[in-house]
């Protein structure tokens, strides 16, 4: 990703430490953090300094590497993986990466594990970038198809949450087709759902689209249906935290409502996912564990005050309680297509990708 014209990944390895961009500080401050222990990596994932399904997969892989540097016994490897898997339950990429590390390390002699862990974590991070670039090309073709009639016509794409560079190691998922289309000279404009409660759309998606010069407009979460009714949305592209083998799409809370509106208005609804986001073990989205986060994320908002300082303010009465389910499931019947690094498939075709 380009930040002030400099290339960055969201996570990288440097002299025995793992560096990451602290996403809780964006969009007002760009801060990187050095993570040197397993406990710090678990904290970074839980507190959402790193977030987004592919990125927390890579973070978990690096977390395993950090956790086996002093001791790499079978028990230690298993304990490290258990701790990482307990950080966030919904995005399958996290467990997928941690378990891939576990399987590979347990097959090696103990003395070879510490070094091998860094190499495999790096490989998992690199694969994510490659997959995202590939799915971006498939998604770009869908956008291009919308502008064939009139290449000067702007294609309006609505997205929810942040499924851009920041949610991955690099490249993004839902935003990958948009970047590819924009870079190829197609005219695109993005409707960015603010995505309460944590505002990943308003603070992260808007920020990274601005860094890349992609035209976009932030909208309140409830505006999408209205814009679709008025013909102002040509397609919806979202990311996902887990897609079942039957094509149910679990993503940030509020995605389901956008899919319902899109279905009603005959607006194509796509999920863009690298294949590690597909959970071949699960058929039904109803069986996905939905993370319940702290109610304070609903009760408070963070923003920049007139004095330039970042502040946290309460937005609900002190007498009220709040509830904070972090994800929802869009049933396959509302999904037009799933954009992967191996092509665009309907939910019914998805099983053909299973190994």
Residues forming the active site: 241
> According to CB under 6 A, which one of 49, 156, 173, 330 is a site residue for ligand MRU?
173
Residue 1 interacts with ligand MRU (CB under 6 A): yes or no: no
Burial class (CB in 10 A: 0-12, 13-18, 19+), 323: exposed
Residue 171 interacts with ligand MRU (CB under 6 A): yes or no: no
Which CB atom, from 170 or from 234, has the smaller least distance to ligand MRU?
170
Stretch that binds ligand MRU, among 46-54, 259-267, 298-306, 329-337 (CB under 6 A): 46-54
**Nearest distance in Å: CB 113, ligand MRU:** 29
**Nearest distance in Å: CB 239, ligand MRU:** 3
Residue 288 interacts with ligand MRU (CB under 6 A): yes or no: no
Region of residue 180 (phi > 0: left; psi between -120 and 50: alpha; otherwise: beta): alpha
Q: Calculate the dihedral angle through the C-alpha atoms of 184, 346, 204, 196, rounding to the nearest 10 degrees.
A: 150
> According to CB under 6 A, which one of 97, 180, 209, 326 is a site residue for ligand MRU?
326
21-29: long-range pairs with CB below 8 Å, 24+: 21/50, 21/166, 22/49, 23/48, 23/49, 23/50, 23/51, 23/166, 23/204, 24/48, 24/49, 25/310, 26/166, 26/203, 26/204, 26/207, 27/203, 27/204, 27/206, 27/207, 28/304, 28/310, 29/310
> According to CB under 6 A, which one of 11, 21, 53, 188 is a site residue for ligand MRU?
53
**Nearest distance in Å: CB 151, ligand MRU:** 28
DSSP conformation letters of 81-117: HHHHHTT-SS-HHHHHHHHHHHHHHHTS-HHHHHHHH
What is the number of the residue whose Cβ is closest to ligand MRU? 239
| Assigned token pair, 145 | 């198809």
Residues of this chain, 11-40, that bind ligand MRU according to CB under 6 A: none
> What track of x and - describes contact with ligand MRU for positions 232 through 271 (by CB under 6 A)?
-------xxx---------xx-------------------
Residues of this chain, 109-168, that bind ligand MRU according to CB under 6 A: 161, 163, 167-168
**Nearest distance in Å: CB 107, ligand MRU:** 30
Contact in structure between 104 and 116 (CB atoms under 8 Å): yes
What number of chain residues touch ligand MRU (CB under 6 A)? 17
- The whole-angstrom separation of Cα 101 and Cα 113 is 10
**Nearest distance in Å: CB 16, ligand MRU:** 27
Contact in structure between 53 and 166 (CB atoms under 8 Å): no
Task: List residues binding ligand MRU (CB under 6 A).
Answer: 51-54, 91, 161, 163, 167-168, 173, 200, 239-241, 251-252, 326
């Amino acid at each position: 990703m380009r930040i002030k014209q400099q290339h960055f990944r969201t996570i990288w390895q440097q002299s025995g430490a793992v560096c990451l961009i602290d996403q809780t500080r964006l969009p007002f401050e760009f801060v990187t953090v050095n993570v040197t222990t397993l406990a710090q990596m678990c904290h970074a994932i839980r507190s959402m300094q790193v977030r987004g399904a592919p990125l927390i997969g890579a973070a978990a892989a690096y977390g395993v590497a950090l956790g086996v540097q002093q001791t790499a016994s079978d028990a230690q490897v298993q304990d490290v993986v258990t701790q990482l898997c307990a950080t966030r339950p919904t995005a399958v990429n996290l467990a997928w990466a941690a378990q891939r590390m576990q399987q590979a390390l347990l097959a090696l002699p103990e003395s070879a594990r510490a070094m091998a862990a860094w190499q495999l974590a790096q490989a998992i991070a690199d694969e994510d970038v490659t997959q995202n670039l590939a799915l971006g090309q498939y998604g770009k073709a869908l956008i291009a198809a919308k502008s064939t009639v009139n290449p000067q016509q702007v294609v309006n794409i609505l997205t929810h949450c942040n499924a851009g560079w920041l949610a991955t190691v690099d490249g993004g998922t839902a935003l990958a087709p948009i970047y590819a289309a924009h870079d190829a000279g197609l005219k695109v404009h993005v409707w960015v759902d603010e995505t309460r409660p944590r505002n990943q759309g308003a603070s992260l998606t808007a920020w990274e689209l601005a860094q890349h010069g992609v035209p976009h407009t932030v909208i309140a979460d409830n505006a999408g249906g209205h814009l679709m009714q008025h013909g102002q949305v040509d397609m919806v592209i979202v990311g996902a935290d887990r897609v079942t083998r039957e094509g149910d799409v679990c993503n940030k809370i509020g995605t389901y409502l956008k899919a319902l509106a899109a279905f009603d208005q005959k607006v194509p609804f796509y999920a863009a996912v690298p294949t590690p986001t597909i959970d071949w073990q699960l058929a039904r989205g109803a069986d996905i564990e939905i993370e319940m986060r702290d109610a304070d994320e609903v009760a408070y908002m963070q923003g920049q005050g007139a004095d330039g300082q970042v502040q946290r303010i309460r937005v609900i009465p002190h007498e009220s309680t709040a509830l904070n389910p972090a994800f929802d499931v869009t049933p396959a019947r509302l999904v037009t297509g799933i954009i992967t690094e191996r092509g665009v498939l309907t939910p019914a075709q998805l099983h053909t990708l299973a190994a």
